[in-house]
Structure 1
Amino acid sequence: MPSFDAVVIGAGVNGLACAGRLSKAGLKVQLVDQAAQVGGAMATREFAPGYRVSAVAHLVNALDARVESGLDLARHGLKWSARDLATTALGENGDHLVLCGAFGERLDGSISAADRAAWTELRVRLLRFAAVLAPFKAMSPPRLAANAGNDLIALAKIALKLRLLGRDDMREFLRLLLINVADVVEDEFADDRLKGLIAFDATLGAHLGPRSPNTLILLLNRLASQAAGTVAGLALPKGGMGAVAAAMANAVAELGVDVRANAPVRRVLVEGDRAVGVELQCGEIIRARHVVSAANPKTTFLDLVGRPQLDTGFVRRTRSIRMRGGAAKFHLALSGAPDFRGADLTSRLVIAPSVNAVENAFNAVKYNRFSEKPVMEIIVPSAFEDGLAPAGHHVLSAIVQFAPREVEGGWNDRRGAFGERIMATLEAHAPGISGLIVAAQMLSPEDIERDYSMIGGDWHHGELAVEQMLFLRPAVGAAGYATPVPGLWLAGAGSHPGGGVSGAAGWNAAERLIGSEGAQ
């Protein structure tokens, strides 16, 4: 007899969300993870004595409302240091542009009246179109087969919502799905800071530049999310991203999920062509009626299940999933507050001076080189709360683009050179910051792959691109959370709707599994 109804592999945001939802439906669940602490990349870590930062992800912009409310994360300790976080597009001479509220409800700074009006109109239009995409995030990718009745009904409802936009808006929506973000912002604005910021946001975490096709849909996908109850908002959890993991871990434990850390999985047990449990590296066997993997789909199928259990065509499609991360993480321990030429440190700071700056930064990775003039998103978490650094000191966290997984010359030899380019960029915007450094840390895509099991350093476990979205994600044959192996389910970032601190993929997968059982 199986010991559990379901065993979930991977205790990151999606594994926790999935385990919690399954337990709420009455299933007996065990959650296993190879790390000593649950949360995956959703962690707060000390990188120098007395200095702590969010290890990889450092802001929340997509935490699924079903996860936040369904697991009652507030009751389990989740608090916010900031909601509706403003974004400051840094100008080298201190001429900053501030987008206040969710996706720039208000613009502060010197900007022409024409650009201000154009921004107001474009913002409303993009949010309206993003609202059409939002329902897709909370549903299994619709199957197009003739017997997929419920899926086709759901798809029809969304098609009706699209039709209600009106003929002109519907045409514009369909046009924007295929266009690149550079063309949109260059048609709309003259201000380089605003254009660079929107280009940066559309390509953050992607292996694409702003002139790459279909990048506008990535921006709409981002705007279709919510954070701390605000659509298209940004929020900073008190205590860093590890606080989100802790609240989720507390919630699932209360629901009765058996959580085991330091429990790496060697293989998925397949008997009679069906997944029946897992074997841990230590040799322990855990039997379950369902196996749910929140791990990378390549890891799941090629390593844990194994090629002999899979159709050769499916193996080929799995191997072909593109996973090219393009971002590095950079941390500074500082003896004082950095001065970004008067910018508010309690805002999200972005260095992306123009569309061309973002495009040029991306161009380097196409040739396995890092950007000579990187663009980046910066947070100074110690400006929001005490306890992350010694009194009077600060920590800086930056997501830096672009950096390839395989850099020319190897990361061991080139790490210092990229760090110098990052510091040169920071120094240009915050003169004197180099003199404040107590310690520094850089995580290359190679480091992120090794430390957090993200192949290629890709936090989506499969690039977000039109050919790897919805019913094509992660691959044909495993796009609806069910897999070619009966009893095995996918619930990670590699499945729809993708990565980030969301939990949507895990919650959706649980709903699909529960539906297969007729449970509630």
Structure 2
Amino acid sequence: MPDVIVIGAGHNGLTCACYLARAGLDVLVLEQSDTVGGCINTRDLPDGRGRLELGAYEHGGIRGSGVAADLELETRHGLRFHLRDEVTLGPADDGARIAFHNGLEETLELLRPVVGPSETDAYARFAAWATAGMKLVGSLDSGPPPSFGQLAAAAQATLGAEAAPFMQTLLGSASAVLRATFEDERLMAPMAHWAGHSQQSPLDPGTGGGGLMLAAFHGAPAARPAGGSRATVEALVRCLEAAGGRVVCDAAVSAVEVSGGRASAVIAGGERHVATRGVVSAIDARRLLGSGGLVAQEHVPDRLKRELRRVHSGLRNVSELKVDAVIDTLPQVEPAGFDRAFMLSANTITDIEQAFASVQLGELARRPPVMIAFPSTLESGWAPEGKAVAWISTFVPWRPADGAWDEAKLEAAADHAWSVAERALGARMGVVERRITGPVSWVARHGNANANPNHIEMSIDQLLGFRPTPSLSGYKTPIDGLFLTGAGTHPGGGITGVPGRNAAQVALASLGVGSRGARLARRARERSALVRDAWKATRELRSAS
């Protein structure tokens, strides 16, 4: 019998399982799908026709967070990254190319002939301020999150006079932050698109921090796994197995049993699996503890039931559509080398604001934001000789105004996204073979409400100490031995592994695994790093103001 059962083999569930297994626990991971990965889903086409990246693309987060190093994914378990300085490109419909390089100075040189010296200078100041601010925010990722009150108090203590404008930025909208800083709507568009990547309109309160993120990356190259995104989860599985853990696929969990106030067993695929120490759920809190969830309602406190009823996903009616294809030739992309970049094409900030408004009404946007990448530019093996592979993602309504999704609607939406991408790139892309992954297909893959890769919305009322609810924000539930991880916990979505690591640390402490001295020493190091980063951010914010 395993010590701990982890429900869900997305990258956070696997990350959590790896930390637990490496601490000496016997860990079993149960996954409903036929393959591990969740939103990570790389598929080979039959007969050598190519390879498609159906899910997540960029993986710099799991490298930058330190999780890959902690688990020795690169040094021991075969993970290898393609690192690139051509980080992001914002192709606009008028032919403008808003290019973001790893180096700030290189980015300024690329921007100056496109948006002019005044906007370029404004970006330089904005990048310095954004970098300093996001260092402070990033220092909060490890461990249970603070409440907004605690964050404000910490900002006041460390940032002094800069605390108020910084908090105003975080609580405000990305659109307000960007429009107060720049004039060129094409320059604002990729930064607004980055803020909207979490399926929140850049006009929404609480997206201001997202509006800083693209400008805050300078100094860290983009990272994508060699062999495709599945290489990350394959390395995590190897890490888990090396520590004695195992994964079972096609094992949909139907119930979590509670005995004597403690999570004791999991029912999956008609089998009962006893967990001698605990259970970790990498699926969202509502599916675990809400009405009709895996845990019987008599074990859920009334206060938590009320909190769970307030958890939301889909209030803005936003979902995602993926179009992946083998194409007859790679489009020519300028500047040179940026065909390797991850592209955020929203055209203008007004266009992306209007796109979210259209989607909320159940309509396809006239000019939707599209994310574009060409994985075949980084390595061979993705397409037959002379051809290429395109990766395109866009936002679509979860509930179309004219009725449920069907094959005809999916094809029409995919055609529209494809034509928008062609217009932005200024090139035709002849399709040899394509695959469409719509909202219903995503739910079948990972089960998340509204096909939301973040499990629940990344709205201001579901961040930090509110994620997923105030009572559950510390990765523990009121039921002994039952823990939460995944994108529905702090700090949220993205391929970082941070929710998995944080949940594992909480579970290990709760289960009394590992020495108390080692845990105290780790917490002391983390607090010391927080203070150091906060003071550094203070100096940088003041110099950037």
Q: Is this a same-fold pair by TM over 0.5?
A: yes
Q: Does 1:391 align with 2:385?
A: yes
After superposition, give the CA deviation of every residue in 1:40-67 in whole Å (9 maximum; x if it has no partner). 2222113676221222111124216332
1:323 partnered with 2:313: yes
Structure 2 equivalent of residue 279 of structure 1? 267
The answer to whether residue 237 in structure 2 is matched with residue 249 in structure 1 is yes
Partner of 2:304: 314
Distance (whole Å) between structure 2 residues aligned to residue 5 and residue 296 of structure 1 = 22
Paired residues for 1:15-414 under 5 Å: 15-46=13-44, 50-63=49-62, 65-75=65-75, 76-101=77-102, 106-107=107-108, 108-109=110-111, 110=113, 111-142=115-146, 163-167=157-161, 169-206=162-199, 208-220=200-212, 233-302=221-290, 303-324=293-314, 325-340=318-333, 344-400=338-394, 402-408=395-401, 409-412=403-406, 413-414=408-409
Question: Does structure 1 retain, via aligned residues, the 8 Å contact 2:449–2:455?
Answer: yes
**Per-residue deviation at 1:474?**
0.8
The change in CA–CA distance for 1:424 and 1:258 in structure 2 (over 3 A counts) is closer
Alignment partner, residue 422 of structure 1: 417
Aligned amino acid, residue 17 of structure 2? A
Distance 1:24 1:67 in 2: 13
CA contact 1:7–1:31 (8 Å) conserved in 2: yes
SS of residue in 1 equivalent to 2:477: coil
Worse-superposed segment, 284-293 or 72-81: 284-293
CA distance, structure 1, for counterparts of residue 214 and residue 274 of structure 2: 38
Deviation at 1:404, TM superposition (A): 1.9
Gaps of 5+ in 1: 145-151
CA contact (8 A) 1:71 1:252 kept: no
1:219-252 CA-to-partner distances (Å, cap 9, x unmatched) read 457788x8xxx87653221111101111111111
Instruction: Please identify, of 241-250 and 187-196, the stretch whose mean Cα deviation from structure 2 is larger.
Output: 187-196
- Secondary structure at 1:118 match in 2: helix
> For the residues of structure 2 that align with 1:503 and 1:45, how far apart are their CA atoms?
22
Name the CA distance, whole Å, in 2 between partners of 1:483 and 1:221: 31
Question: Who is 2:539 aligned against?
Answer: none
**Is the Cα contact below 8 Å between 1:42 and 1:57 reproduced in 2?**
yes
How far the C-alpha of 1:37 sits from its partner, in A, is: 2.0
How many angstroms apart in 1 are the aligned matches of 2:383 and 2:472? 45
Kindly indicate whether the alpha-carbon contact (under 8 Å) linking 1:214 and 1:466 is maintained by their aligned counterparts in 2.
Answer: yes
When residues 466 and 353 of structure 1 are mapped into structure 2, their CA distance, relative to the original with a 3 A threshold, is: same
The 2-side partners of 1:415 and 1:472 are apart by: 35
Taking only aligned residues, the RMSD between alpha carbons, in angstroms, comes to 2.4
Structure 1 CA distance, aligned partners of 2:159 and 2:98? 32
Q: Is the Cα contact below 8 Å between 2:12 and 2:486 reproduced in 1?
A: yes
TM-score (norm 2): 0.86
Determine helix, strand or coil for the equivalent of 1:481: coil
Segment of structure 1 superposing worse, 305-314 or 13-22: 305-314
Q: Answer whether contact 2:321 2:436 (CA < 8 A) is retained.
A: yes
1:433 aligns with 2:425: no
Indicate if the aligned counterparts of 1:86 and 1:102 stay in contact, CA closer than 8 A. no
Which residue in 2 is equivalent to 1:149? none
SS in 2 for 1:136: coil
Letter aligned with residue 86 of structure 1: V
The one-letter code sitting in structure 1 at the alignment partner of 2:411 is G
The 1:366–1:448 alpha-carbon spacing in structure 2 relative to 1, beyond 3 Å, is: same
Matched-pair contact (CA < 8 Å) for 1:331–1:441:
yes
Q: In structure 2, what is the Cα distance between the partners aligned to 1:473 and 1:65?
A: 19
TM value normalised by structure 1 = 0.90
Q: Distance in 2 between matches of 1:104 and 1:138?
A: 31
- Aligned mates of 1:355, 1:104 — CA distance in 2: 24
SS at match of 1:288: coil
Q: Alpha-carbon deviation of 1:211?
A: 1.9
Instruction: Specify which of 494, 503, 506 is matched with residue 500 of structure 2.
Output: 506
- CA distances 1:194-217 after superposition (whole Å, capped 9, x unpaired): 1111111111122x2222222112
Contact 2:491–2:498 under 8 Å retained in 1: yes
SS at match of 2:100: strand
Indicate how the Cα distance of structure 1 residues 181 and 481 shifts in structure 2: closer, same or farther if over 3 A, else same. Answer: same
Alpha-carbon deviation of 1:180? 1.3
Deviations 1:253-305 (Å, cap 9, x if unpaired)?
A: 11111222222222111112221121222223333320111112222123211
- The answer to whether the Cα contact below 8 Å between 1:223 and 1:232 also exists between their aligned partners in 2 is no
**Alpha-carbon displacement from aligned partner over 1:392-431 (angstroms, at most 9, x marks no partner):** 111111221x212122222104212212221221231345
Distance 1:99 1:62 in 2: 17
Q: Which runs of 5+ in 2 are unaligned?
A: 515-545
Amino acid aligned to 1:404: P
Given the superposition, is the C-alpha separation of residues 485 and 220 from structure 1 closer, same or farther in structure 2, using an over 3 Å criterion?
farther
1:76-133 deviation line (CA, Å, top 9, x unaligned): 1111123344211113343312111168862314221111111011011011011111
1:507 partner SS: helix
Q: Distance in 1 between matches of 2:306 and 2:50?
A: 45
Mapped partners of 2:103, 2:257: distance in 1? 46
- Counterpart-to-counterpart distance in 2, 1:388 and 1:173: 44
- Is the Cα contact below 8 Å between 2:194 and 2:213 reproduced in 1? no
Task: Assess, with a 3 A threshold, how the Cα gap between structure 1 residues 195 and 431 changes in structure 2: closer, same or farther.
Answer: closer
Q: Give yes or no for contact 1:348–1:377 (8 Å, CA) kept in 2.
A: yes
User: C-alpha separation between the residues in 2 aligned to 1:97 and 1:315?
Assistant: 47
CA contact (8 A) 2:325 2:389 kept: yes
Name the one with the larger helix percent.
Answer: 2
Which residue type is aligned with residue 190 of structure 2? Answer: L
Q: How many Å separate the matches in 2 of 1:133 and 1:118?
A: 22
Q: In the TM superposition, what whole-angstrom CA distance separates every residue of 1:141-181 from its partner, at most 9, and x where no partner exists? A: 2479xxxxxxx9xx69x9556633341x2222122122211
